[in-house]
Amino acid sequence: MAYEFVRRADGLVMCRLDPQEKAIIAQVAQEVGDLVRADLGLSSEPAAVREAAASEDPLTRLEAELAGVDREPSDSAVQRLFPASSSDAAQAAEFRRLGQRNLVDHALVALSRVHRDIDAVGPVQAEIVLDDEAAAAWLTALTDMRLVLADRLSVRGDDDIDTLRMLQQIEVDADLPADGGMRPQSEAEGATVAGPDLVLAVYDLLTWLQDSLVRVQIEGLDHPG
């Protein structure tokens, strides 16, 4: 069972996760990172761009940086992570060309940090201990993970989540299969896909952890030292 984030006497923050919770959070962090890379084409960066990025010429390196990650997201979840900055198509495209790379890099580093921190403590129940830099990365990653899961649940606001929970409870009370008759897990193209009940449970876990982490960070600002 998870224990929420709290601040220790030494100023660090910590939570406790059981093996299943750690595995789920690490998997979601990995899959969100993979989704971003695949949707924005980061797995197939042209060799010319990689060579330019390693150049000794500052102008060449700058051109390489500006050439990366300016693709408009096609996946609805990635669109939530990196929305258009303007309703004007030309302005939005220019912002993606100039600024999207930094936003994507920041998101991927944060997701990788969550996966690495969980992996570092091993498979047993354990405390996750974070300094301020790591806590900021976790907040970023938890936000992005929740946005992706919310997209998969077709959630746009708190009312949608409340409705999902209400329907879930009705199904439980009526002893019906979750998701109105569909199996909790279905297979698509040979892969096992999590059903909405599981996705909602993971969403709730991430929300609860994020809320507790935000709370201890705010308390730290109110009571420094």
In the numeric block, which tokens belong to residue 168? 């879930």
Q: Which residues contact 6 (CB under 8 A, 6 or more apart)?
A: 13, 14, 15, 212, 216
Do 30 and 112 form a contact (C-beta atoms < 8 A)? no
Per-residue pLDDT tens, the chain, 225 aa: give them.
678 999 999 999 999 999 999 999 999 999 999 999 999 888 644 454 455 556 677 766 555 555 556 788 999 999 999 988 888 888 888 888 887 888 999 999 999 999 999 999 988 878 999 999 999 999 999 999 999 999 988 877 666 666 666 655 654 455 544 443 323 333 334 444 556 778 888 999 999 999 999 999 998 676 665
Percentages (nearest 5) of helix, strand, coil residues in the chain:
65, 10, 25
Distance CA 111, CA 195 (A): 23
What single letter denotes the amino acid at residue 138?
W
Model-level pTM greater than 0.85?
no
Distance CA 215, CA 221 (A): 10
Distance CA 198, CA 185 (A): 9
